[in-house]
Amino acid sequence: MNAQPKMNADTQPLLDVVHARKSFTKGDGGELLVLEDVNLTVRPGEVVGLLGRSGSGKSTLLRLIAGLSKPSGGKVNYLGTPVTGPAEGISMVFQSFALFPWLTVYENVALGLEAMHVARDEIRRRSLAAIDLIGLDGFESAYPRELSGGMRQRVGFARALVVHPNILLMDEPFSALDVLTAETLRTDFLELWSDGRMPIKGVILVTHNIEEAVQMCDRILVFATNPGRIVSEIQVTIPRPRDRNDPAFAGLVEQIYVEMTAKKGRTTTRISPAGGSGIDMILPRVSSNILAGLLETVAAPPFSGRADLPEIASELTLEIDELFPAAETLQMLRFAEIEGGDIHLLPEGIAFADAEVDERKRLFARHLLAYVPLAAHVRRVLDERRTHAAPSSRFLDELEDHMSPEVAEETLRALVSWARYAEIFAYDDETGQFSLENPT
Ligand code: ADP
Ligand code: MG
């Protein structure tokens, strides 16, 4: 089905990212390493997927590729030449539609060409062709507010395509759309791509949706977090158009779940080096409701204590950005274990699912204090102080020795929400004080 020319290995790559590294300077002058030793190549005719959880550096990498920001190390070559600024020939579709509300569809699309000093009638011809190609014929003079989300994203595509880029970068372009609209847009896009009707040679698709990556990509690069790096590359050889019900499709999805939850790629449950206090563990923001819901679902039939993560994801309609941190938190708290893409409950996890509210809180408190060193640390400080109170800055300062201020803030927020549920200490949002008083 794929009408794109099949290229042999020695064809000049469209894009070559070599040992790319990116770090940002933190508020305290330290370095936040976001991307480490990223290598990737895009050849003509390829759709390459970057699959990873949020915060793994995917958007940062796209910005390097587009020339919107500079690598701290390594290089990005476009058609063999280093990218040093916004590269003509590379264009981007964003998750949020980023249209100008005061411009019509036609004007939003034509804008990209006006910046390139293209002749007027050429602008008109190409803009109308892009609008037509992407299924917006008849909407030329509509304003963004008159369009549905799906139609707006079609304008986003038309605007990226009108410049006839060699490489189209797509940063989670379907993730702000409802399920059906997203599916329609994906299918339309793939049809245009397979028919060779789009003026592009290669695509990089950033996504955190495993099924989407398998449906759309020829190769999938799996990203791990902290720092962002590629941990595996998966070839997708299933013929197009791909059917989600095909066992080969489901098998590949399963394989990727296994890889993405394997220990090597897991960083949110990082345990400190022996001898450390252990408070440098990054805690993910997962609500106690989601944790309880996941325990209940896995405990109940048909799962009865053990479930396949892809099945749970579809049963609970959870994205991996929600499911993985929740499953890993249960593992960190020793309520469950994750292995081979499955989650299975430990006896205490089953006890939690079977218990009433008060008993659940007691169990949760016990595990939180036993397995999350930061929880025990905050509790100890509050116990020892005469006032039984301490400002959050006291703990943020400690955390910031090990992580960026944003991550420290998130970690403390995660702890606060779990501690509230477990009733092991209280936190007052207005004064920023931790205390032993029971929250009312
Ligand atoms: P993703 O797209 O995979 O969700 P991002 O590339 O947006 O991830 O972000 C990766 C990490 O880099 C995050 O921790 C984010 O806070 C950090 N980051 C991104 N841009 C900047 C910046 N300009 N300054 C400091 N930190 C940044
Ligand atoms: Mg992003």
**Residue 140 CB partners (closer than 8 Å, separation 6+):** 104, 105, 106, 128, 131
Does residue 59 sit within a domain?
A: yes
Closest atom, ligand 1, to C-alpha of 61 = 6
Ligand 1 neighbours, Cβ below 6 Å, are: 24, 32, 34, 52, 54-60, 406
**Residue 269 CB partners (closer than 8 Å, separation 6+):** 281, 328, 331, 332
Q: Which of helix, strand or coil describes residue 103?
A: coil
Q: Which of helix, strand or coil describes residue 408?
A: helix
Ligand at minimal distance from the CA of 58 is: 1
Domain count, the chain: 2
Check which CATH number belongs to the domain holding 54 and give it: 3.40.50.300
60 in Cβ contact with 35 (< 8 Å): yes
The verdict on 231 and 326 lying in the same domain is no
Cross-strand partners of 282 = none
> What is the span of the domain harbouring residue 242?
15-261
Compute, in angstroms, the gap from residue 29 CA to the centroid of ligand 1.
17
Closest C-alpha to ligand 1, atom 17:
34
The verdict on 246 and 367 lying in the same domain is no
Q: Which amino acid is at 276?
A: G
The verdict on 169 and 51 lying in the same domain is yes
What is the pTM assigned to this prediction? 0.81
Token pair of 286 as six digits: 């997962």
The verdict on 332 and 204 lying in the same domain is no
The verdict on 136 and 179 lying in the same domain is yes
Does residue 2 sit within a domain?
A: no
Cα separation, 199 vs 113, whole angstroms? 14
Cα separation values, 104 from 129, 136, 164, 177, Å: 16, 12, 21, 21
Pick the last residue of a domain from 243, 261, 279: 261
Pick the last residue of a domain from 210, 242, 261: 261
Compute, in angstroms, the gap from residue 95 CA to the centroid of ligand 1.
15
The verdict on 250 and 295 lying in the same domain is no
| 426-428: strand order across its sheet | 389-391, 433-435, 426-428
Compute, in angstroms, the gap from residue 32 CA to the centroid of ligand 1.
10
Compute, in angstroms, the gap from residue 391 CA to the centroid of ligand 2.
33
The verdict on 84 and 214 lying in the same domain is yes
Does residue 8 sit within a domain?
A: no
Check which CATH number belongs to the domain holding 299 and give it: 1.10.10.10
Does residue 276 sit within a domain?
A: no
The verdict on 226 and 293 lying in the same domain is no
Does residue 415 sit within a domain?
A: yes
Closest atom, ligand 1, to C-alpha of 25 = 25
Cα separation, 286 vs 419, whole angstroms? 12
Q: Which of helix, strand or coil describes residue 48?
A: strand
The verdict on 169 and 96 lying in the same domain is yes
Token pair of 131 as six digits: 């609008």
The verdict on 355 and 218 lying in the same domain is no
- pLDDT by residue for the chain (440 residues), tens only, comes to 444 444 444 578 999 999 999 999 877 777 889 999 999 999 999 999 999 998 899 999 999 999 999 999 999 999 999 999 988 899 999 988 789 999 999 999 999 898 788 899 999 999 999 999 999 999 999 999 999 999 999 999 999 999 999 999 999 999 989 989 999 999 999 999 999 999 999 999 999 999 999 999 999 999 998 899 999 999 999 999 999 999 999 999 999 999 888 765 344 444 434 345 678 888 999 999 999 999 999 999 999 999 999 889 888 888 888 899 999 999 999 999 999 889 999 999 999 999 999 999 999 999 999 999 999 999 999 999 999 999 999 999 999 888 888 889 999 999 999 999 999 999 999 999 999 976 43
Compute, in angstroms, the gap from residue 49 CA to the centroid of ligand 1.
18
- Top mutation candidate among 21, 22, 24, 170 for ligand 1, by most atoms within 8 Å of CB: 24
The verdict on 88 and 125 lying in the same domain is yes
Pick the last residue of a domain from 261, 280, 301: 261
Torsion-angle region of residue 111: left (phi > 0), alpha (psi -120 to 50) or beta? alpha
Does residue 114 sit within a domain?
A: yes
Does residue 272 sit within a domain?
A: no
The verdict on 97 and 174 lying in the same domain is yes
Query: What does 205-245 look like in DSSP terms, one character per residue?
Result: EEES-HHHHHHH-SEEEEEETTTBEEEEEEE--PPSSP-TT
Token pair of 389 as six digits: 């109170």
Closest C-alpha to ligand 1, atom 23:
24
Does residue 331 sit within a domain?
A: yes
Compute, in angstroms, the gap from residue 209 CA to the centroid of ligand 2.
12
